[in-house]
Structure 1
């Protein structure tokens, strides 16, 4: 019952400028994703699967200006004024989602070691050209924040479909995903696979290394 990288979350002020920024740095543009009505957000996606990170994608996400505000804080800390201020300078790697085959088991495991990942919620998103929407379960805190600066994954379990099933191939692949500050007991509870630790004092909580048409590129979370 391993947890492994499902997708990386890159927050941005708006999807158009975020897509241009991503294309300049990775040499590929994300494609249309959809809207999350219950969170007031929308996204674009980029396939980044590799032999060491199968069925993995990059999610570029922003507050949807045409959607009503949700009844709760948005996920991934998007309502944080400090984050929104930083996004003026460009997108930021804010979280990673860990794919679990037993989401409640891993959630309770984190709780037993003193971490509070949140509550398991059911979600869905319509996909253009598909009758059946994507459906998943995801563990979110009531305050919308990530744990330990994003080092702890946001647990997700897909119930119907997966974005990678319809994403076009891209020239970008995830070579390395590293976290700093994740307690060893948390790694053991999740039986984390394919994610490296980084103990350097100046390392960010989350860093991702990509192979791209422009060479090797590293994206990092805020210091």
Structure 2
């Protein structure tokens, strides 16, 4: 069984990402940390029990990584889009049985990577490029011990729904079902691929963040 762990907002810089979150959600994310060797750093916003929003951006203090940055941050078209403003770029699903899921999916699960930040440790499996359907199919994460969300103060912002739009909605649904996520993401057919997160601010106002 898998469930939403967090949603990912890409930004050109963390400062721009934090300002965007504060403008739209009414609260500023807190400092996260550095992903050593991956060329990124982040800020985090707690969305209640077990869920959070991650703001991720290239880390200018790190050398260029040996591999492309996570969540397509080095993709030229995404870099151009982030020049305009930060945007939702991906989501991550949590599972306590990552080895079993990867074994069942085979190459469709992608390469598993061990990661850490401070005393947080986790493993992730990212779908191979062109099989992630514009990041509508999530990376899978398994935390070793407590996850990041357990350490975040409650912002009183809530994730109401996560939705996907794609020309081949059936293929998206099938890929989600393989990962036990068919009930997690609302999928509908659309000419263009898009990820949409619907959130409620602490003041009750509802806000939609999207990838395009």
Q: Which residue of 2 aligns with 1:104?
A: 99
Query: Of 178, 181, 206, which residue of structure 2 is paired with 1:216?
Result: 206
SS at structure 1 position matched to 2:16: helix
Q: Which residue of 2 aligns with 1:14?
A: 13
8 Å Cα contact 1:95-1:146 kept in structure 2: no
8 Å Cα contact 1:12-1:90 kept in structure 2: yes
Q: Which residue of 2 aligns with 1:174?
A: 159
Aligned pairs (5 A) from 1:44-83:
44-49=43-48, 54-83=49-78
In structure 2, the CA distance between the partners of 1:197 and 1:214, relative to structure 1 (3 Å rule), is closer
In structure 2, the CA distance between the partners of 1:146 and 1:25, relative to structure 1 (3 Å rule), is farther
8 Å Cα contact 1:43-1:59 kept in structure 2: yes
> Alpha carbon RMSD of aligned pairs, Å?
2.1
Q: Which aligned runs of 4 or more in structure 1 are off by greater than 6 angstroms?
A: none
Task: Please give the alpha-carbon distance, in whole angstroms, between the structure 1 residues aligned to 2:162 and 2:154.
Answer: 20
Q: Which residue of 2 aligns with 1:151?
A: 136
SS at structure 2 position matched to 1:198: strand
Q: Does residue 191 of structure 1 match 2:180?
A: yes
Q: Which residue of 2 aligns with 1:121?
A: 113
Query: Of 139, 145, 164, which residue of structure 1 is paired with 2:149?
Result: 164
In structure 2, the CA distance between the partners of 1:194 and 1:26, relative to structure 1 (3 Å rule), is farther
SS at structure 2 position matched to 1:68: coil
CA apart distance, 1:204: 4.1
- Bigger RCO (CA 8 Å, 6+ sep): 1
Q: In the comparison of the two structures, how many residue pairs are matched?
A: 207
Q: Does residue 92 of structure 1 match 2:84?
A: no
8 Å Cα contact 2:8-2:90 kept in structure 1: yes
Aligned pairs (5 A) from 1:17-32:
17-32=16-31
The answer to which of 185-194 and 14-23 deviates more is 185-194
Give structure 1 stretches of 5+ with no counterpart: 127-132
Task: Please give the alpha-carbon distance, in whole angstroms, between the structure 2 residues aligned to 1:78 and 1:201.
Answer: 24
SS at structure 2 position matched to 1:149: coil
CA apart distance, 1:185: 3.1
SS at structure 2 position matched to 1:150: coil
